[in-house]
Chains A and B, each alone.
Chain A
C-alpha cells in the first residue's frame, strides 16, 4: 500500500537525550515536512525539504535537526536543546507544494 509511515507511535525521552523520529513515504513525493502539534493549537512547521539533500527551517526549528539523504525518508531528531519536547509530531509529504498528506504521527513524552 502507498502511504506515509511514522515510527514509533509512542516515544519516551529522558532528560538530556536526543531521540530520532522516523518518517518514510512510498508515494514518490518530492517534498516532506515535519510539524509539531500541541493541544489547542494548530500545526506548526518545524522543517521541510523540497528535494533530496536540501531542507529549510520552519517556524520552530530550534532544538530540532533533520536530514534528507533519500527521497523516501526524512528523519527528525529532537535534541536535548529542545526544552519542551512533549508533543505530537506529524510528518507529511506532497507531490505538489500545497496538497500535503500526513502520516499517523508520533507522540513524544519526556520522562
Chain B
C-alpha cells in the first residue's frame, strides 16, 4: 500500500482564488511529520510547510495552510489567493518516527501539478 497518496495528478485554479491539494497518508506510528514541498519547472524542491502529528493546531505559513485531519489521515494543503508563480508540482511527504534503520527519510507522494490561470 502506498504510504502517501495524492489523488489529483493535475489541478487548475483561477488567479487570486484558493485551492486545496489533497494528501492522505498511511502509518502505524504515533509520532510522525508531514511536509509539503513545491517543485517549479526549474527542478528545485522548496519546503512550504510542516505539521507534526502531535501538533493540535493546523500549521500555517503565509498563504499556505495545512488542513490536518488526523483521524482521517489526511493533510491537505490549502493555498489562498493563488498567484501565477504558484504554478508548479506539489509534493506531500511523510517522515515517520522510527522507520527502517531509523534514517527518518521522507516518503513522497507522486505529486500534483498545479496550474494557475490568469
Interaction A to B: no
